[in-house]
Amino acid sequence: MSRAVVLVLAVASSAFVLNHVAKLLMATGMLKHVYNHAPGTCRFVPGAEQGSEDIAMTSSGLAFISSGAKKLSILPKSVEEDFMPHGISVYEDDHSGEVRLFVVNHAKGHQERVEIFRFDADSNSLYHIKSIAHPLLYSLNDILAIGHESFYASNDKYTTGLYTRMAETWFLLPWSNVVYYSGGEATIAADGLVYANGISLSPGGKLVYVADFTSGVVKIYHRRDDNTLLFSRDISIHSSVHKICVDPASGDLWVGAHPSAFHLAEHLKDASRPCGSQVLRIENPAGENVTVTEMYSDDGRWLWGSSIGCYHEKQLLIGTINHKLMHCTVDLPL
Amino acid sequence: MASKILVLLVPLAAFVFQSLFQPRVRFGDHNHVYNHVPGTCRLVEGVVHGAEDIVRTRDGLAFISTGMKPPPAFNPDPWYLQAVGKILLFDLKKPEDGVRELKIEPEEILSEGLGPHGLGLYENYAGEIRLFVVNHHKEGDRVDIFRYVRPEAKLQHVRSVRDPLLHSVNDVLATGTDAFFATNDHYCHAPWAMKLERFLGLAWSNVVYFNGTTASVAADGFSIANSIATPPSGDLVYVSDTLQQHVRVFRRLPDHSLELQRVIPLFTGVDNLNICPETGDLWVGAHPSVSDTFSHIRDRRHLAPSQVLRIQNAAGEYPEVTELYANDGRQLSGSTAAVVYNRRLLIGTVVDTLLYCDIMVPM
């Protein structure tokens, strides 16, 4: 009798393990083959060779790019000395015309901060206004500016230790979340994500889109009046979704993704190793007929590690974590 | 005792896991298909029973085989059995005219029941055009050779080639007025044996050469030798192997046997090949998921993904592969063939429809 029990347990647990391994294999995209195609003529943008992980666009089509190389003047200079930027977001004040840039800063000594800057177009400089830190902002990835000093931010992992974070990944633990900060207070707006990455807002401000990198989905939330988030649905992308750029004209989502997280990991360890890129367009994300179209795909032939794609008037700008910046014309009908 | 169980269980589980996953990987179940087009696309009216193969002349006249009935071995949906085999014409210089059915002489060819599959085109500089048609005739597979009579838009039957070596013919490549290469996609004849042959990945499929009088085996060892093409120079022969997911590049020897040079891996269920006579590019129709295509044949409501690839520098050491079209099945199911002429693309399917696209991306 006990032998039978042992057998059943052994079979059940191996099935469970095999199933988890299969899920991991799918999540890493190791078995995937990536094909090449572009929507038009593409070329690298000179001067952006050390990554362009996030791109934030203003309504007039001005793009801020967060990169390993710092090109815009940051004032005061002291801020630059302790500055490792990650996600960025633009806040445009309709009345005053002021343009603010919110930047996630992985400062020295594992300090997580949000830096708020004012952009001065005449001098091409960012004037530092404020640094924001809070216990609930502990593993920041991306940021979505909502007001002068209020925002949503994604914490991509729950723990901060190297091995515990690895365990969170390998066990696909859903401990990542989205936090809302305003006036010194922060609350968890959404949780249960596996790896919350990019966050973006719909043109009307009613929907918040969050990329879950490991699950390969874009999560859609309704934004309530009190700024809490109500989960609406998932859009499956079947790729490691990184950052989302919303086209203000159409409400389309343009998503930067990594077809193979496995090859991306190799590339991040060794920047000379190629990995693929992918940009997808999601039409009608909140509606009945969601349409997902692959607008750009690359097996590592040209562009490595696309994290974001932003569309503006028949042009597509594709940023990467650690590689170059690509500009493509979009010759296809949209 | 527990350790003995584990010793048995682990390899057993591994074997089961491997044999469950391996054919599925080979049949393409693991790849998600993303939709994208090269420009504006529209379905061609009047084609509802497939457009399995397409070939075109140098001046853009495309011949299309339609109405192929899937064999009983595939448990086809009854809707497909209503199909009538025909040859259609689509002039890529005048895409707005759509397709027209070609007259065939003598009429018995059609009234007996034409079972058209692959097509081959012979075109010489004197202006003679011959269409080679793989015909799954009720008395057995044969290759029918027709002369295309341009002014009357009709196909005049010249001869039918039957041979014991031509038993499961898929595609044909014309090399002369009466000579051709043909692919046999399976070795076995019985439906259950063909199924087993596929599932076990037995590499018994072959390519046959017919010199006008006799047939001989030119190459073998394919899992499913599907389609065959040659660049204008004629010294190389490309053969697609659907289950091995690649194109084999052969050098053609004086005795017409084929010597393997290299392989172009495509990671998809490669179906028909077409060569662009101007550039030497290979146009490939493919099934990202062969198992979905088989399901689509069993049940027309089951969608099957489609894909068109372009291979530049196919004869060289580093071919460049670009995906020109991909669809999860909602626009087009089970793509098999593609031809391009002057930035105009035609995509055929096993049993679905025919798609026409204007190519807007740079080529």
**Is the Cβ of A31 closer than 8 Å to some Cβ of chain B?**
yes
Average pLDDT over every residue of B250-266: 96
pLDDT given at position A30? 78
DSSP string, B62-127: EEEEE-PPPPGGG---GGGGG---EEEEEETT-GGG-EEEPEEESTHHHHTT--EEEEEEEE-TTS
Minimum-distance CB partner of B36 among A22, A31, A295: A295
Tell me if residue B49 is catalytic. no
> A239 to chain B, minimum CA–CA distance in Å?
9
On whether residue A51 sits in a domain, the answer given is yes
For residue B360, which amino acid is it?
M
Structure tokens at A18: 């095999």
Cβ separation A36–B321 shorter than 8 A: yes
On whether residue A111 sits in a domain, the answer given is yes
Q: Give the HSE-up count for residue A306: Cα atoms under 13 Å, Cβ half-sphere.
A: 33
Q: Is the pLDDT of residue B157 over 80?
A: yes
Q: Quick one: pLDDT band at residue B21, thresholds 50, 70, 90?
A: low
Q: Outline where DSSP puts E strands in B175-312.
A: 180-184, 205-210, 215-222, 225-229, 236-241, 246-252, 258-265, 269-275, 282-287, 306-312
On whether residue A137 sits in a domain, the answer given is yes
B residues 289..328 contacting A (CB < 8 A): 307, 309, 320-324, 326
Give me the number of domains chain A comprises. 1
How many inter-chain contacts (A to B, CB under 8 Å) are there? 80
Residue B207, SS3 per DSSP: strand
On whether residue A187 sits in a domain, the answer given is yes
Between the CA of residue A132 and those of A104, A111, A135, A150, A181, what are the distances in Å?
10, 11, 10, 10, 9
Q: Collect all residues of chain A within an 8 Å Cβ-Cβ radius of residue B9.
A: 7, 10-11, 14
- Ordered strands of the B169-174 beta sheet: B169-174, B180-184, B205-210, B215-222
CATH number at residue A48: 2.120.10.30
pLDDT < 70: residue spans in chain A: 1, 61, 68-71
pLDDT given at position B312? 97
**Catalytic, out of A86, A134, A222, A327:** A86
pLDDT given at position B90? 98
On whether residue A3 sits in a domain, the answer given is no
* Binding-site positions of A for Ca(2+): 88, 141-142, 197
Cβ separation A294–B34 shorter than 8 A: yes
DSSP at A66: E
Pick the most confident of A37-51, B92-106, B187-201.
B92-106
pLDDT given at position B22? 58
Cβ separation A14–B10 shorter than 8 A: yes
pLDDT digits (tens, 9 = 90+) for B216-248: 999 999 999 999 999 988 899 999 999 999 999
Q: Is the ipTM of this complex over 0.90?
A: no
> B268 to chain A, minimum CA–CA distance in Å?
9
On whether residue A25 sits in a domain, the answer given is no
On whether residue A240 sits in a domain, the answer given is yes
Average pLDDT over every residue of B315-344: 96
On whether residue A56 sits in a domain, the answer given is yes
**Is the Cβ of B358 closer than 8 Å to some Cβ of chain A?**
no
Cβ separation A32–B9 shorter than 8 A: no
> A265 to chain B, minimum CA–CA distance in Å?
20
Cβ separation A33–B34 shorter than 8 A: no
Structure tokens at B189: 């004849």
Look up the domain containing A213 and give its range. 33-329
> B266 to chain A, minimum CA–CA distance in Å?
9
Cβ separation B309–A35 shorter than 8 A: yes
Question: Mean pLDDT lowest for which of A62-71, B284-293, B301-310?
Answer: A62-71
pLDDT given at position A279? 98
**Is the Cβ of A35 closer than 8 Å to some Cβ of chain B?**
yes
**Catalytic, out of B30, B32, B117, B189:** B117
Question: Cα A10 to the chain's mean position, in Å?
Answer: 40
Burial level of B147, CB count in 10 A (0-12/13-18/19+)? middle
Question: Mean pLDDT lowest for which of A165-169, B41-45, B292-296?
Answer: A165-169
B residues 4..63 contacting A (CB < 8 A): 5-6, 9-10, 13, 17, 21, 25, 30-32, 34-40
**Is the Cβ of A19 closer than 8 Å to some Cβ of chain B?**
no
Q: Is the pLDDT of residue B30 over 70?
A: no
